[in-house]
Homo-oligomer: A and B are copies of this chain.
Amino acid sequence: MTAYDRRRRVTIADVAGHAQVSTTAVSKVLRNAYGVSPAMREKVQAAIDELGYRPHAAARAMRGRTFTVGVLLPHIRNPFFADVLDGLMDQLAGTGYQAIIVQGGGADPEAERRAVEALTDRQVDGMLMIAPLASKADLEETARTTALVVLGRHDRSAVYDSVFDDDETGAELVVGHLLALGHRRIAHISQKDGSRVRPAELLHTIRARTYRRVMEEHGLADEVAVATTSYTEEGGYLGARELLARPSRPTALFAGADLAAFGALAAIHEAGLAVPGDISLAGYDNTRTAALAHISLTSVDQDGATMGGTAGRLLLERIGGRTSAVRFSVTPTLVPRRSTGPSPDGETRGGAAAG
């Protein structure tokens, strides 16, 4: 074995032995952790200098900081995530931190698990998971070894932070707006998932449940119609086709995401219907495409840049040593545009906004 000693890099164990402290203490000094005394720092630094210990990236990865945060997102196609990432990147700028991104792949929790493992293997210092499907228990397992911020879920956890939009208010705003325009046959496009999460914690189940509740509160339980596809263009297209084919065709569609609304728009056009003359359409996320004059989609703004920036700040705090859990909620606003108008049934009920 000694034949390899000379060739071997100086390790953290060598440093610990030389300084006569534990490897944990060395590791703490290396990653600039909380609760290291100046004396300890000095002793370890002296050993590092004497032995010429130079942690290279992979070694640092094993022992200390990698100055990398991992981001899990379902799919890069959703432009809302670009807003979130812009906010995150702004927050990381100048900190020396780089973000690496993996795609969870949508509705398959197994694919998501593999993507998260890829981040764990790359030994990121912290993770931002956007709308993950994993169970709270799995998330807490991850949080035990890696600083974790979860965006887009309403979990209460003692070991990770949550950043989310008040999806209940957002859905109330949309359904209330459509009710005020006189619509009664309001249908909803939601998202299927393969998650093992308590449904109450996922944003799409909250939006769907709130839609249903507000409809019921207005005596419209019989008009509830939900197509459960996905928050993608394809999902919106298929969901709208399904809903438009119903004998009692809806006069308004509330798609749980702008991306699904764009797909719905294609289905509505294919069916020869006019927006908003024949059917009103609303989305969620207030993406830039929604704001285009030719689309002009009514949507809900949840300020992705602020959510991403806040998530970045919380993540850096956690990496820095904060262990208390934080929940940060953004209150969304409705952005009414030309895609929603009075119901063609003509029974406008001015004061009927959801309460």
The contact of A292 among B75, B105, B265, by CB within 8 Å, is: B265
Cβ-closest chain B residue relative to A62: B58
Any B CB within 8 A of the CB of A115:
yes
B103–A89 touching, CB < 8 Å: yes
Give which listed residue, B66, B82, B99, contacts A121 with CB less than 8 A: B66
> What string of 1s and 0s marks CB contacts (under 8 Å) between A113-141 and chain B?
01101111111000000000000000000
Interface size on A, residues (CB 8 A): 53
Additional pairs, 17, CB under 8 Å, beyond known A1-B5, A262-B288: A3-B17, A4-B11, A4-B13, A8-B13, A57-B120, A58-B62, A58-B123, A61-B121, A66-B121, A89-B103, A89-B105, A98-B102, A99-B102, A122-B122, A265-B294, A266-B293, A294-B295
A58 is contacted by which of B58, B68, B289 (Cβ under 8 Å)? Answer: B58
Q: Is A269 an interface residue (CB 8 A)?
A: yes
**A233 close to chain B: CB less than 8 A:** yes
For A7, give the chain B residue with the smallest CB separation: B13
Are A122 and B100 neighbours in the complex by a CB distance under 8 Å? yes
Q: Are B89 and A288 in contact (CB under 8 A)?
A: no
CB interface residues, A 54-80, toward B, < 8 Å: 57-58, 61-62, 66, 68, 75-77, 79
- List A residues at the B interface (Cβ < 8 Å): 1, 3-5, 7-8, 11, 13-14, 17, 57-58, 61-62, 66, 68, 75-77, 79, 81-82, 85, 89, 98-103, 105, 114-115, 117-123, 233, 262, 265-266, 269-270, 288-289, 291-295
Distance in Å: Cβ of A289 to nearest Cβ of chain B: 6
Specify which of B66, B76, B101, B288 is in contact with A233 (CB 8 Å cutoff).
B288
Who on chain B is nearest to A101 by CB?
B101
Contact B76 A101 (CB under 8 A): yes
Is the Cβ of A75 less than 8 Å from the Cβ of B82? Answer: yes
Best-buried of A4, A85, A294 by chain B (most CB within 10 Å): A294
Question: Which of B57, B288, B293 interacts with A269 by CB under 8 Å?
Answer: B293
Assembled-state Cα–Cα distance A233/B265 (Å): 21
- C-alpha spacing A7/B24, complex, angstroms: 14
The reply to whether B98 and A100 form a contact with Cβ atoms under 8 Å apart is no
Question: Could you list 14 A-B pairs, sorted by A, with CB under 8 Å?
Answer: A1-B5, A1-B14, A4-B13, A58-B58, A76-B101, A89-B103, A98-B102, A99-B102, A100-B101, A100-B119, A262-B289, A266-B293, A269-B293, A294-B295
**Contact in complex: B118, A98 (CB < 8 Å):** yes
Which residues of the other chain, B, contact A119 by a CB distance below 8 angstroms? 100
* Chain B residues in 8 Å Cβ range of A11: 4
Q: Are A101 and B98 in contact (CB under 8 A)?
A: no
CA distance A151 to B121 in the complex (A): 27
Nearest-CB distance from A8 to chain B (Å)?
7
Question: Closest 7 A-B residue pairs measured CB to CB?
Answer: A57-B121, A98-B118, A269-B293, A77-B82, A101-B101, A76-B76, A4-B13
**How far in angstroms is the closest Cβ of chain B from A228?**
22
Tell me the minimal C-beta distance from A307 to chain B in angstroms: 16
